[in-house]
Chain A
Amino acid sequence: MKPAPFSFVAPESLDEVVQALAEHGDDAQILAGGQSLVPLMNLRLARPEVVVSINRCHELDYIRLVDDRLVVGALVRQIDAETSPLVQAECPLLAKALPHVGLPATRNRGTVCGSLAHCDPLAELPAVALALDAELVLTSAAGERRVPADDFFLTEMTTCIEPGEVVAAVALARQDPSERSALHEVSNGGHAFPVGGVALRWATVDGVCTMARIAAFGVGSVAQRLGDAEKALVGSDLGPEAIAAAVAAARAEVNPTGDIHADADYRRHLVGVLLERGLLEGEAP
């Protein structure tokens, strides 16, 4: 199918973008890479009146360090983040996740922030944002607010972005060089959507786990922090008993549903398997 008619604006600065959003309110839709939005528009599942492209806002095309955070602007394509030495050094979990996202041709155009704003429950990047204590930088005509990832992702395809706001950037925690991280997922074929996955990072000091972040995707209506599993790890020696406790906690705190790709019990089991795999195989960054 073809998309329904719309009007199109392509401002050249973030200021002009938020002005356009202020003018059109609920009728406006941000277009970044379009790799999720345009299929929805072609299928007429999305019918925005006004499309506001940020593709001319070159000021949003940056990856830079700001204090203890790696900040990725809204126009950074997934492929450019994937191959960025800065991302590989500072947020290796993001670099590991990106090859799983979509397909090579969609990563050439799709953006990191766009995937977060889209909030597909099967997407890897929202879980990565949770595991990296991300803050979403939301800009509107009224100014800027920063929202922790824990409060940003609400449910399937739904975030806390208000009308008039645009995700201008995502600020990710820089990973300490001693941290380890992993992302594991299972899908029914090479680049098919995952039926479930886990993103995690953790730190140890003298053999004791001092920090753990675990987030699951594809096993619920939205990417989910697994706080009980994290608690089972912190303070432990990450030995078999601690891992078994974290696996049990993870399985208890997800609430998956079944579909044609996998049933709910499989997904619940899978979360534990992938968490264990990550903890045992996660490479040092």
Chain B
Amino acid sequence: MNDEVRVTVTVNGRRREARVEPRRLLVDFLRHDLGLTGTHIGCEQGVCGACTVLLDGRTARSCLHFAVAVDGSDIRTVEDLASLDELHPIQEMFHRKHALQCGFCTPGFLLTTVELLERTAEPDEGAIREALMNNVCRCTGYANIVDAVAEAAVELRRRKPA
């Protein structure tokens, strides 16, 4: 039953594949098999949201999926956000608003924010706080994260061609 199986996914626009045991969690597949260590692993039981990725365009906890079960999926991780010389506007606002301290939870918060702002261009504070329920931060007290998301929404609207 330990037989390895081939898993092929698209990660950040690139086709990637590896042979893994069926029990390989998606988060470990990304980190250990594909070397994408931007996705962090926290609680391993779906509570903290540090391992959040976009799975077929929607936030998902990568510790709650087996790689084999998402074979063929499209996955987006935090590595997709910044270019070599420029932060993504959401990352830029997290930086400016001091929305992180230790930064461990940040990759998950960023992907949750990407999903929110792709669905809702002008979220109010209630919608931001509702979306951020996905993720636990033990440093910031959340106020700065809420501010950063609100500012990122403004910045993304400003950049969007009319």
What is A's interface to B at a CB cutoff of 8 Å? 1-8, 10, 31, 34-35, 38-39, 41-43, 49, 51, 53, 55, 79, 103-106, 108-109, 190-191
Contact = CB atoms under 8 A, between A and B. Distances in A.
A79 to B, nearest CB: 7
B22 A51 contact: yes
Contact of B25 (A2, A7, A190, A191): A2
Main secondary structure of the interface of A (DSSP, over half): loop
Secondary structure type dominating chain B contacts: mixed
A37 to B, nearest CB: 9
Contacts of A105: 49, 52, 58-61, 112, 134
A10 B69 contact: yes
B131 A6 contact: no
Interface of B: 1-3, 5, 21-23, 25, 28, 44-46, 49, 52, 55, 58-61, 63-66, 68-69, 71, 112, 129-131, 133-134
B46 A104 contact: no
Given A7-B3, A8-B68, A104-B134, A35 B46 contact: yes
B58 A108 contact: yes
Nearest to B47: A39
25 contacts: A2-B23, A2-B25, A2-B28, A4-B23, A5-B2, A5-B21, A5-B23, A7-B1, A8-B68, A8-B69, A10-B68, A31-B66, A31-B69, A34-B66, A35-B46, A35-B64, A42-B25, A42-B64, A104-B130, A104-B133, A105-B61, A105-B112, A108-B58, A108-B60, A109-B64
